Amino acid sequence: MIEILAPGIRYDSDTKGYIMLDVGRVIPELRSTEKNGVKLLPKAEFHCSIVAARDLSDGNPELEALIVETTKASLHRVPIKVTGLSGAYYICKETKDGDATQTTVIGGLETSSLDDLHKSLQKIVPTYQPFIPHVTLLKSQNSKYGIGVNSQTDLEKLCRRDNQLATQIVKHK
């Protein structure tokens, strides 16, 4: 079930339990590329996963509901503003449960007004690590949604920065 938490922000309880901000309006036209023999294709929709509520709650439904309500309250107090891509691009790879390696390209986002959200979440989940504002731009065909990069730790573990990607994937008119 999709629940609208605020304008442009939805919570998908059926899929991965993510709270997502629609950022399609700030994404330029993209083109496919190939990296290490893997074809990377533009996604059909673009969002910034602002809270991985299910992961953060460790599967506890009551805590997940509290995380969603806390996020919703914070977003109503201080809406998140996204102005565009930041210029930071990363190539990320992950292999799960013996499956083929998934590959994605993510782009950093210029955002503001995140402090209230981060502080609110840290009050209820002290181990919460603020997310890195980003959007999955391209993904390998074997990746249904992209790779979950929900913290600085995930970014360091799964991704490497490659700002040359901008010239390869952003279509210039």
pLDDT at 16: 86
For 145, the 3-state DSSP assignment is coil
Which tokens sit at 56?
A: 């953060």
Model pTM score: 0.91
Give the pLDDT band of residue 144 (cuts 50, 70, 90): confident
Instruction: Please compute the mean of the pLDDT values over residues 160-165 and round it to a whole number.
Output: 92
Length of the chain: 173
152 φ, ψ (degrees, to nearest 5): -60, -40
Buried residues in 49-86 as b, exposed as e (16+ CB within 10 A) = bbbbbbbbbeeeeebbebbbebbbebbeeeebebeebe
Q: Is 151 exposed, middle or buried (0-12, 13-18, 19+ CB in 10 A)?
A: middle
Instruction: Please compute the mean of the pLDDT values over residues 11-27 and round it to a whole number.
Output: 93
pLDDT tens-digit readout, 65-107: 999 999 999 999 999 999 999 999 999 999 977 778 999 999 9
Give the pLDDT band of residue 159 (cuts 50, 70, 90): very high
Which tokens sit at 88?
A: 């930071």
Mean residue pLDDT of the chain comes to: 93
Which tokens sit at 160?
A: 């490497």
Which tokens sit at 70?
A: 């806390």
Q: How many angstroms separate the CA atoms of 119 and 111, rounded?
A: 16
